[in-house]
Amino acid sequence: MKRILFLATGGTIACGQTPEGLTPKISSEELVSFLPQINELCEVTAEQPFSLDSTNMSPREWCALADIISRRYDEFDGFVIAHGTDTMAYAAAALSCLIQNSAKPIVLTGSQKPMTAPESDAALNLRDAFLCACCGSLWGVTVVFGGRIIDGRCAAKVHTREYDAFRSINRADIGSVSEGGVIAARDEKPVGSAVFYNRMDTRISVAKLTPGVPLNVCTTGVRAVIVEGFGTGGIPDYGGAQAKRELSRLSADGIYVIMTTQVMCGGTDLSVYKVGSGAKEEHIIEAGLMTRELCAMKSMWALAYSDSREEFEALFCGQI
């Protein structure tokens, strides 16, 4: 029988009602108790590292989760993390950076309604997560939600209320879960040992381009700036090329500038349009097909493990 470590962090799945609104109240052991059939599937060890609304989750907590999994990795066959949905895609992206080459499944899930609410999706999503954690054809970090199995590097939340709230961006779902079981098709299983990291550097800033609005980036204590551009990416030249001057200033100050897109699918390609062709002059790093969540988390991870622009770019643009 597979041994699974269940880590509950709070989120809607564990929420109860208070006079001020929903807040996490249900423990890891209580969540598992709603799934008595799990005992026939696997041996579960339940732990509660945090009890937070996912709005309050951050790289500090995700590094702590990676550390727990690192220390307990050899004890278990798989890992399930119950997490709030609002920052779950960020959590999956962060853990994909912090835990690499894992041949064991690390599954994140949650719900749109609390476990105790009528017609909740919580029990089904949690059941599916355990099924995936016990599945021999899955490994690495995934998000399991609404019957979908999504690579942790590609997940994005696309709806605040619907049960089918997550999508895989720029690649197909890994698979699906139904009453018939798990259907999954991952890439080739990793060879060798898992690689764990324990640091992220949060000294980044995110700037969103808005038509007609000057680009002004506060750079106090910032080492990298992510610019959310239009379409495949480019630098507006209205306003006397103010945006280009601002990006030039950032580069001159030794700040890494990363261009991503506000469009959910398709990624960036700065070579397509004239407005993007000047990006090389400003030493802009292209996010390509990364989600906005992965772009942010990967930049924090790359900052933590690099001492030069060349090292940062190699880590940020490299495979994880």
| Nearest residue to 134 via CA among 173, 96, 182, 88 | 182
Active site residue 12: yes
Strands 256-261 and 284-286: parallel
Question: Is the Cβ–Cβ distance between 171 and 154 less than 8 Å?
Answer: yes
Of 273, 261, 205, 257, whose CA–CA distance to 229 is shortest? 261
Backbone angles phi, psi at 2, to 5 degrees: -65, 145
- Reported as half-sphere exposure (CB side, CA atoms, 13 A), residue 58 has a value of 5
Catalytic residue among 9, 12, 87, 261: 12
Please state, in angstroms and rounded to a whole number, the distance separating the CA atoms of residues 271 and 51.
45
Residue 110 identity (one-letter amino acid):
G
Token pair 């940062």 is found at 312
Which residues make beta-bridge pairs with 21? 18
Q: State the catalytic residues.
A: 12
